[in-house]
Chain A
Amino acid sequence: MSLGFLMLCHTALDRAAQVARHWAQQGCPVVIHVDARVGEAALEGMKRALDDCADVRFAPRHRCEWGTWSLVAAMQSAAELMLAAFPDVSRVYAASGSCLPLRPTAELGDWLDARPDTDFIESVTTADVGWTQGGLSLERFTLRFPFAWKRHRWLFDRWVTLQRRLHLQRPIPEGIEPHLGSQWWCLTRETLEAILTDPRRGEFDRYFRTVWIPDESYFQTLARRHARRIESRSLTLSKFDFQGKPHIFYDDHLQLLRRSDCFVARKIWPGADGLYDHFLSLEPGAPGRAEPKPGRIDRLFSQATARRTRGRAGLYMQSRYPREHWENGRTATRYSVFEGFTELFEDFETWLGRAIGARVHGHLYAPDRAHFAGGERLFNGCLSDSAALRDYVPTDFLTNLIWNTRSEHPCFQFGPADNQAPAGFVAADPNARISVITGAWAVPLFRAATPFDEIRARAARLQKTEAEHLGLLRNNWVRAQVRVWPLADFAAAPAEPIQDILDEITPRGQPRLTEMPRMVDLTGFGRFLQTLRNAGMNPWLAGDFPLEDTPQPAPPARRARQAR
């Protein structure tokens, strides 16, 4: 065995000691660097715990701070000690105190032996990395960073801005090309020696001292200068979240880690007893030839990042409350709003429900209560039909309803007699499909046995509301798909628009319409509209109905006006 491990530790020293002992017992020398900020007592404890392990050494200590040269210095000291103290070591693996070996070291040794002279170090040019945080990639190498990002964020930012503004740049030393990558590498003795004994090392060290996050670039860049063959990947499974901090593994990741076939994972929660117990007691089994497969773990963590950055469309809850226009989807799924259809057709909701095989609501925003499909008093998610509850935050009622039935295609009726509060929200929602038959509110008035004065007043009110609503739907910010037909046109030729609407809700494989919804009897409706006109109220939204009662008004072959 000729593999040696370097360990950089700063917390949870007991766990680090456990892992170091494990490696040492498997015949791998270990050099431990303990952060100089760790107290003497803790260090003594760790040394005592590793007393009986002959091949464990402690490197000279540096005060380590994230993103600074100190981490490289620590790694250099540890590596120098390793090369000097263990002349048999032919490969050096850089690890941290929160790393955990997932496979017996013998398997890693065999696997490495099968790939001689190869350095495993993630090493990517600045132009090609997608993961740098804070927008600094090449600038890490061309600007100077005298201030610690963690402690003096304000100064750090100002200093970067100032250098950019003044175009202050410094040259990159001759002969190296900046590369970035994970600091958990595995190098051959030759490469590591070449880096540490490079005649120009002094020059490079001085340069990297003021590079930002040099621990992600020092060895990665210089390995390119000396290595015979580089395999640009890290053998340590280590994933970073969207803020650039490492994901942490817990006991419940055990199966996932086991099946990943990776050699070392980082970072492990110190309290994960199950992981430490399991992986540190693995017996070397059959010669493991399996390639590391971090794919499943990648997926798990990229899902977590997506959830944190994009979230679930249409969800409003305690920890996701997007500002307007930042919703990534105002509502959870597509839905259809029908205006004027229940008025024109008999039992339209039942018919539509049958045609598309779904539940169709009545007027959800009716003044008396929310008319859920089937006349239910409560609906999915225990949504109440109480008008007061609904009107308390009217858009929440809608987003809740759509979220609760997001596996269906929600459909509901709307009209000028309803609470108009959600109309703007719906109009700006790309998920909404709004179909309007204008003037259809006149049909129930025509069929009602109400005193004419009252009808006239109601008609005027409804027409005004609907006209405002249509104005709203014509705004340039409307994102819903809107179709508008005047009542007269729709009544004359309903089949085509209805087929269009159905195709849109159930796009694939629906048979042609066999059964049309039954239109209410409009005999005398033209006369009724004329009566309204005679009373001084022009129902212009209904369109041109012929005055005389022909069975069907002459079909004007006008297409639906598409607002968008």
Chain B
Amino acid sequence: MSVIGKYRLRLKRQRQRLRAWRKRGELRCLRDRTRAIGRGDVLLFSTLRNERIRLPYFLRYYREMGIGHFLIVENGSDDGSREYLEEQPDVSLWTTQASYKRSGFGVDWLNWLQRRHGHGHWTLVVDVDEFLVYPFCDTRPIRALTDWLDASALRAFPAMLLDMYPKGPIDAQPYREGQDPIEIAAWFDSGNYTIRRNPEYLDLWIQGGPRARAFFADDPARAPALNKIPLVKWDRRYAYMRSTHVLLPRGLNYVYDEFGGEKASGCLLHAKFLDTFLDKSAEEMTRRQHYAASREYRAYSAGLRERTDLWCPWSEKYINWRQLEILGLMSKGNWA
């Protein structure tokens, strides 16, 4: 890449960091427990709105994984999410009523918090409906992974978004608080993903899965991106550009091997398609606070009204990470 190209990327990164700095005033701290953060703690950052019912399982899942502290931005919830989070001993909570869309879909807020509190830590950025699965996650805590990444001089760990869906109509099995959502949304597409490499940012742009085949079959270019790099050894100079799909400096996006080998990677099980989704999509259609003017939500609610079953006879039922490894959706790399 030319010097000018590199400089342009640098400007983009600095602009993104400046945006985060400007938006810091939108955040009001409700509970600051960041002093409890230990030196080697893995930190989880998340933005959410009205996710009260999902929170107990979400927190449990990541506590069991070994997350040291949760830093959460709550965006205008009115369902008790805020009150619930305030009571959690390992959660630092910020709140804002500002526009989700104008903060780059939460990216600016989290970039700011990561800069303030994430420097030198491994940081995991996930939504409340995303569940990280990494090699050996059933026997090794996340500190084992981050220690290994440190020893291997790796700064970023990719985990592709894997859309999970139930069998049958989406609202047939209502989600109960505290329940593992993967019990309901247990199915996924194993082998219909397309990959393109973006030469500017070096990231791989992955699309496909049930959303592409069910909602974007006539316009696949607009199907949502599934590549994600949620786990990063954060430095205050870094910035997420678009959700957790792309980072700068761009070397952080280079999480794949180009000479035939496999680097280690995980998956984010995306438990979006529960019965709660129908209410959400109705609400989001009017709020228009999501990516590309809530186009996804529009496509979903149209699609879900007509054919409510994403399941097909070729769908795979989720068992464990080893299954995802065999299917080629993630890899152990040289971690053994």
Contacts and interface: CB of A to CB of B under 8 A. Distances in A.
Contacts of A381: 189-192, 314
A378 B314 CA distance: 7
Contacts of B262: 307-308, 311-312, 315, 317, 319-320
Contacts of A396: 193-195
A66 to B, nearest CB: 12
Nearest to A396: B194
B257 A321 contact: yes
Interface stretch (A237-245, A479-487, A532-540): A237-245
Contacts of A317: 160, 193, 195, 262, 265, 328-331
B255 interface: yes
15 contacts: A250-B144, A251-B140, A269-B140, A304-B332, A308-B262, A308-B334, A312-B328, A317-B160, A319-B330, A319-B331, A321-B256, A321-B258, A384-B192, A392-B207, A404-B191
Contact of B220 (A318, A327, A392): A392
B141 interface: yes
Nearest to B206: A318
Nearest to A253: B336
Nearest to A301: B336
Interface stretch (B12-20, B27-35, B147-155, B296-304): B147-155
Contacts of B221: 392
A280 B222 CA distance: 57
Nearest to A320: B262
A396 B195 CA distance: 7
A327 B260 CA distance: 5
Interface stretch (B99-107, B113-121, B209-217): B209-217
Q: Most chain-B CB neighbours within 10 Å: which of A301, A378, A397?
A: A378
A382 B194 contact: no
A318 B330 contact: yes
Contacts of B191: 380-383, 400, 403-404
Interface of A: 241-243, 245, 247-248, 250-252, 269, 271, 300-301, 303-305, 307-312, 315-323, 326-328, 378-384, 386, 388-389, 392-393, 396-397, 400, 403-404
Contacts of A247: 336
A311 B334 CA distance: 10
B261 interface: yes
Given A252-B139, A316-B195, A381-B314, A310 B220 contact: no
B110 interface: no
A241 B212 CA distance: 39
Main secondary structure, interface of B, reads loop
What does DSSP make chain A's interface, helix, strand, loop or mixed? Answer: mixed
B295 to A, nearest CB: 17
A310 B256 CA distance: 13
B195 A308 contact: no
Nearest to A309: B261
A315 B334 CA distance: 16
Given A319-B255, A382-B210, 13 more contacts: A243-B152, A250-B140, A252-B136, A252-B139, A304-B333, A319-B256, A319-B257, A320-B256, A320-B262, A378-B312, A389-B212, A389-B220, A393-B195
Contacts of B141: 271
A532 B151 CA distance: 71
B204 interface: yes
Contacts of B336: 247, 300-301, 303-304
B187 to A, nearest CB: 9
A507 B195 CA distance: 35
B260 to A, nearest CB: 4
Q: Which of B194, B209, B336 has the most CB of A within 10 A?
A: B336
Nearest to A272: B144
Contacts of B265: 317-319
B143 interface: yes
Interface string B9-49: 00000000000000000000000000000000000000000
B313 interface: yes
Contact of B263 (A250, A308, A383, A400): A308
Contact of A319 (B140, B196, B264): B264
A269 B204 CA distance: 32
Nearest to B210: A382
Contacts of A378: 213, 312-314
Interface in B163-221: 189-197, 204, 206-207, 209-210, 212-213, 217-221
Given A250-B136, A382-B189, A403-B191, A307 B333 contact: yes
